Amino acid sequence: MIGRFNHVAIAVPDLNAAVKTYQDVLGAKVSAPQDEPAHGVTVVFVELPNTKVELLYPLGENSPIKGFLDKNPGGGIHHICYEVDDILVARDRLKASGARVLGSGDPKIGAHGNPVLFLHPKDFYGTLVELEQAKAPAAAE
């Protein structure tokens, strides 16, 4: 059911410092910050040859990342993301297996413009899992 590994997300207490570290110390290509109000975060993507690292920073006082950083003031890995071909089929299969989908269970649009869902970390050995519907391949001309 799961496909490619899409990204690992790291919550950071200082987005500018994190960007500087990835750019200047590690020499990585880093995107511009992107606010995602529906998710309560500002994101920056670190582009790697085989995947991405998503840096998360709270957007507003009600951000779930703020709560994470309150418990982990130095930051840390927040979630991992896998791609799926059809997010609704994946959701229904997971729910039928007893896995808990967070929130309403309806996908939201994520930072890549694709539908996403999050799965309860207690069902996946302490790891918050994001599923992202992979983009459909472009039609052949």
Task: Extract the tokens encoding 42.
Answer: 């500002």
Q: Catalytic residue, from 36, 130, 132, 141: name it.
A: 130
Q: Are 115 and 107 in contact (CB under 8 A)?
A: yes
Residue 141 designated active-site = no
> Quick one: how far is CA 76 from the chain centroid?
13
pLDDT of amino acid 87: 97
Q: Which two tokens stand for residue 112?
A: 């890549």
Give the H or E element holding residue 74.
none
Mean pLDDT, consecutive 10-residue stretches, the chain (141 aa), reads 95 98 97 95 96 96 94 97 97 97 95 95 97 72 48
The answer to whether the pTM exceeds 0.95 is: no
Q: Rounded to an integer, what distance in angstroms lies between the CA atom of residue 141 and that of residue 136?
A: 15
Distance CA 28, CA 21 (A): 9
Cross-strand bridge partners of residue 130: 81, 118
Task: Please name each of the domains of the chain with its CATH number.
Answer: 5-133 (3.10.180.10)
Beta strands at 41-47 and 52-58: parallel, antiparallel or unpaired = antiparallel
